[in-house]
Amino acid sequence: MVRVQSHPNPLRIRFVDFELDEANARLSCNGEAVALAPTPFNLLCTLAREPGSLLSKDALLDAVWGHRFVSESVLKTAISDLRTTLGDSPRAPRFIETVSRRGYRFIATPSLTPLTPTSLAITPQAVTQAPLFIGRATSLSRLQRAWVQAQGGQRSMLWLAGAPGIGKTLLIEHFMAGLDGATCARGHCVEPLGTGEPYLPVLEAIAGLCRVDPALPVLLRTVAPTWLFQLPWLSSAQEREALRHELAGVGPERMLREMGELLERYTEQRPLLLVTEDLHWGDRATLQLIDYVARRRGRMRLMWVASFRVAEVVALDHPLSSLRHELRLQRLCEEVVLDPFSETEIADYVATRSVSLARDEAFVRALHDHTDGVPLFVSSLLSEVMDRADDDATVEARLANLTVPENLASIIDHVIARLGREERDLLSAAAICSGDFRVETLSLVLERDLASLAYACEELVRGQVWLTRSRTVDGAEVSAQAYSFRHALLRQVLYDRTPLSLRIHLHRQIGGALERERSFGVPVAASDLAMHFERASQPVIALSDFGPVATISAHGDRMPTLC
Amino acid sequence: MVLNPESKYPNRRTYVLKLRSDAAPGGLAGRLENLVTGRQCEFSSVEELSASIADDLASIAGERAADAAGE
């Protein structure tokens, strides 16, 4: 039994598997009461009343122990009891984070929705509609703190590092979803199979932001014409010609200064979250820009999150490796590194599909052993054993009998093998496109009916495995018919598994289709076109398509070199 | 039994191992780099490699102790 603490607004929240009902002095887990002594219960209520906020030791002592004379050790003991009850760990906290020498912070995301006895009964429909987000409370909390800092005018540069399939993109999306109307711009790097485009992820982000914010193209014209020139669809032919003259002799350093100025002025009006994904494939120009922005003096309400596969960066001596350490050493950025799931986190994940299975420690441990806790691996294997309907075996037996794939690529091979012929053709062609792709493009390439392709893409989106709809910075859809792969690994493995001769053919077809679309006014990056023709072994066409991108280089002769 | 709340292979305990071109089964030589800290150690024998890893594990234990003291 716990003592009832009188409070004008008694807390009634749910977090992960727990329900906290202050008025009834009740803590429960999965609907079952959990014994908790009065002091740790009051401590939990005090912390949970201010989620995400640091509560100093003094504040907690005052709130829970009142004016009684007690030493700090009672607080430490109560925190320890609370963690034991919640199954939390100070090293990998999910609920209560220690802020060294200062105090504690409640880091779980509480839900204020009414508590119901069946709150954990998630229907399969619900599961397919929302991406599952488990754990990562500390990481999310650090992102949120960095955003608060950026809102206050202190720019935040944040590396988000981890292995493939560890959940970097999911964390970013979960974080963005919680920002509620904030201005976000997002771009990603693509595997540099040929000559890439300098600043590709930044140009993608700025282009996306221009679509939803008419003030930005105006500002680009004023302070960042070299960047405007890289987005030709934002200006008329006459304006571009004038820009060409104006920018004659301009070197790449000016692009850095202009972007710095643009970001300072733009963020005077509103804070901006800039996301660059897959920076392990990033070009040197983008890295230079990150370095420049991190070191630039002046107020900037900017948070720049860049994700990358840390082992690849280190193993391949990518230029990002030294930049990463330099900026960290000089405290110009911070780093969030995502570890594989622990057994506890896997249990939380399994609970979203089956609470009873999550309580089966042997199953959870076996799933952990099979996957080493890599989330993409976990979700794939769990779906494999739970969704099969072709035998009468139990889920546990299926897991025990499953041949363990050697790596993520092997898992994806397994998923590819389950595709129908038409789906495989569609996805293979989509994998040839770099980044987002449009149904219209695929329709031209595959010579298939637009409506049936759109329907097939929607099916693949609903399946929550292969595709997702492309989104603009504010979360609205760019176009009902623009899609991208849910994960870069999926595209990468499909691309690798496409025979070389077919790849060359598809690059040629896609290059031709994009050229036609461009002639009808669809914005198509010249470097994309050039890349397709280059890989289709048509270098002459490729060279001519690099024209617009190479213009500044031709005049200024020092466009940043690529990786 | 209680489920382990900590990751089995945390990045802090993950390394990239590069072997030099002249490394051989009887003479391991190369460089070890921790993924999180970026700390690098050159080694020219399996004993030195083992000592480098032991040093880093000791650092991790020190970090944990400092964290615990800060609570």
Residue B5 is nearest to which of A101, A161, A344, comparing CB atoms? A344
Structure tokens at A86: 């919640």
Q: State whether B5 and A89 contact (CB < 8 Å).
A: yes
How large is the average pLDDT for residues A4-9?
51
Reported confidence tier of residue B12, pLDDT bands at 50, 70, 90: very high
Cross-chain residue pair A314–B33, CB shorter than 8 Å: yes
Question: Quick check: A5 pLDDT over 60?
Answer: no
Domain residues for B46? 11-70
Find the angle CA(A516)-CA(A240)-CA(A185) to the nearest 5 degrees.
Answer: 75
Check whether residue A309 and residue A391 sit in a common domain: no
Closest-CA residue to A132 (of A99, A160, A104, A171):
A171
pLDDT digits (tens, 9 = 90+) for A461-480: 887 778 888 754 344 444 45
A372 to chain B: closest CA residue: B8
Q: Quick one: A368 and A328 in the same domain? A: no
Residue A130 domain flag? no
CB B10 within 8 A of CB B56: no
Q: Give every CB contact of residue A537 below 8 A, 6+ residues apart in sequence.
A: A504
* Digit-coded pLDDT (tens) for A479-505: 456 888 887 778 888 888 888 889 999
Residues A221 and A157 in one domain: yes
CATH of the domain at A266: 3.40.50.300
Helix boundaries (H) for A235-318:
237-246, 252-269, 284-295, 310-315
**Partner residue facing A101 (CB), from B11, B14, B70:** B70
User: pTM (2 decimals)?
Assistant: 0.66
A9 touches chain B (CB under 8 A): no
Return the pLDDT at A32. 76
pLDDT at A127: 34
Task: Out of A310, A337, A364, pick the residue that ends a domain.
Answer: A337
Name the residue with higher pLDDT: A113 or A9.
Answer: A9
Q: Which residue has the higher pLDDT, A40 or A150?
A: A150
Q: Which of A5-14, A347-356, A387-396 has the lowest mean pLDDT?
A: A5-14
Nearest CA in chain A to B6: A342
Question: Would residue A447 be called left, alpha or beta, if left means φ above 0 and alpha means ψ between -120 and 50 degrees?
Answer: left
Residue A370 belongs to what domain range?
343-404
Ordered alpha helix ranges (H), A359-402: 361-371, 375-387, 395-401
Section A158-182 average pLDDT: 92
| Of A106-120, A239-253, A397-411, A526-540, the least confident | A106-120
In a domain, A272, yes or no: yes
SS3 A427: helix
Residue contact A314–B6, C-beta within 8 A: no
Is B3's CB within 8 Å of A343's CB? yes
Same domain? For A189 and A332 the reply is yes
Prediction ipTM score: 0.90
Q: Which of B6, B16, B71 sits opposite A92 (nearest CB)?
A: B6
The total number of structural domains that make up chain B: 1
Instruction: Say whether both A257 and A142 belong to one domain.
Output: yes
Q: What is the average pLDDT score of chain A?
A: 81
Contact list, B18 vs chain A (CB under 8 Å) = 315
* Local confidence band at A1 (pLDDT 50, 70, 90 cut-offs): very low
**Number of domain units in chain A:** 4
With a cut of 90, say whether residue A298 has pLDDT above it.
no
Q: pLDDT grade, residue A539 (50/70/90)?
A: low
Beta strands in A414-559 (DSSP E): 437-438, 467-469, 482-485
Tell me: pLDDT of A534 over 50.
yes
Task: Answer yes or no: do A285 and A426 share one domain.
Answer: no
With a cut of 50, say whether residue A125 has pLDDT above it: no
Can you tell me the mean pLDDT for A343-362? 89
DSSP-derived secondary structure for A53-93: -EEEHHHHHHHHHTTS---HHHHHHHHHHHHHHHT--SSS-
HSE, side-chain direction, 13 A CA sphere, residue B53: 10
pLDDT tens digits, A64-90: 877 566 677 788 888 888 888 888 888
Helices then strands, counting H and E runs in chain A, come out as: 28, 15
> Per residue in B19-57, pLDDT tens?
999 999 989 999 999 999 999 999 999 999 999 999 999
